[in-house]
């Protein structure tokens, strides 16, 4: 009997989630730095890194938006079984998951409010690959400048201009992730 929704996930949630969170935290504290998670966590079309982020951060207290290409019956079942996170539209989402072209335009997502800039969406962006070259990043967490392959520059520049409001990003490809938040200036 095939039960794909039971595949993957954490065998030892407390320890594995701690390891993955350290990777995500390091990536977000040091924008542009590429971290590697353990393989074998996800099911198609999810990368292991994106699966790790969903398993570590999403639960019944959050809301997740799946872009149409990721909104498959199999993935819905898998996410429901492992996390219990309710699915929602882009306007209410705490987390959104999909490829860059499916996530844009970004103004559909919540950037937080002036009083509560933390009430903003985090976008989990599935990519083909992550490279330490491309757009130039600077800002908190970066000593001078660093480079990261980003899908475009304009959207990130506009996002950073809204600071302290804005969206935070976790780019995932295979077992790798990088996480430039809104505070990162992109040129």
Partner 1 sequence: MTEEAYNFAYLNEQTKRMIRRAILKGLATPGYQVPFASREMPMPYGWGTGGVQVSAATLTPEDTFKVIDQGADDTTNAVSIRKFVERTAGIATTTKTSDAKVIQTRHRIPEAPLTEDQILIYQVPIPEPLRFLEPRETETRKMHSREDYGLMHVKLYEDIAQHGHIATPYAYPVRVEGRYLMDPSPIPKFDTPKMEMAAIQLFGAGREQRIYALPPYTKVTPLDFEDPFDPSKAPHPCGLCGAEDAYLDEVITDDTGRRMFVCSDTDYCETRREAGHRGKDAA
Binding site for partner 1 (CB under 8 A): 13-15, 17-19, 21-22, 24-26, 28-31, 56-62, 94, 114-118, 120, 122, 139-143, 163-164, 166, 168, 181-183
CB of 154 to partner 1, least distance (A): 20
CB of 184 to partner 1, least distance (A): 9
Residue with smaller CB distance to partner 1, 22 or 69: 22
Whether the CA torsion 130, 67, 109, 51 is positive or negative: it is negative
Residue with smaller CB distance to partner 1, 28 or 43: 28
CA nearest 4: which of 73, 100, 78?
A: 78
Burial grade of 114 (CB within 10 A; 0-12, 13-18, 19 or more): exposed
Residue with smaller CB distance to partner 1, 62 or 88: 62
Q: Using alpha carbons only, how large is the chain's radius of gyration in Å?
A: 16
Determine the 3-state secondary structure of 129 from DSSP. coil
Residue with smaller CB distance to partner 1, 26 or 88: 26
CB of 150 to partner 1, least distance (A): 16
127 Cα distance to chain centroid: 11
Residue with smaller CB distance to partner 1, 84 or 89: 84
CB of 68 to partner 1, least distance (A): 25
**161 Cβ neighbours under 8 A, 6+ residues apart:** none
CB of 141 to partner 1, least distance (A): 3
Say if CB 51 and CB 42 are below 8 A apart.
Answer: yes
């Amino acid at each position: 009997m095939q039960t794909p929704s039971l595949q993957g996930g954490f065998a030892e949630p407390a320890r594995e989630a701690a390891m993955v969170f350290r990777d995500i935290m390091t990536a977000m504290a040091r924008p542009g730095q590429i971290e590697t998670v353990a393989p074998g966590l996800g099911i198609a079309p999810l990368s292991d890194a994106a699966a790790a982020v969903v398993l570590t951060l999403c639960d019944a207290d959050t809301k997740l938006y799946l872009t149409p290409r990721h909104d498959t019956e199999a993935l819905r079942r898998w996410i429901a079984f492992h996390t219990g996170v309710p699915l929602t539209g882009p306007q209410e989402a705490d987390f959104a998951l999909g490829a860059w072209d499916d996530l844009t335009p970004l103004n559909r997502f919540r950037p937080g409010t002036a009083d509560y800039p933390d009430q903003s969406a985090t976008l989990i962006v599935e990519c083909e690959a992550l490279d330490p070259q491309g757009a130039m990043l600077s800002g908190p967490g970066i000593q001078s400048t660093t480079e990261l392959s980003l899908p475009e520059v304009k959207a990130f520049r506009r996002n950073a201009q809204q600071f302290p409001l804005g969206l935070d990003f976790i780019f995932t490809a295979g077992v790798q992730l990088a996480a430039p938040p809104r505070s990162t200036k992109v040129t």
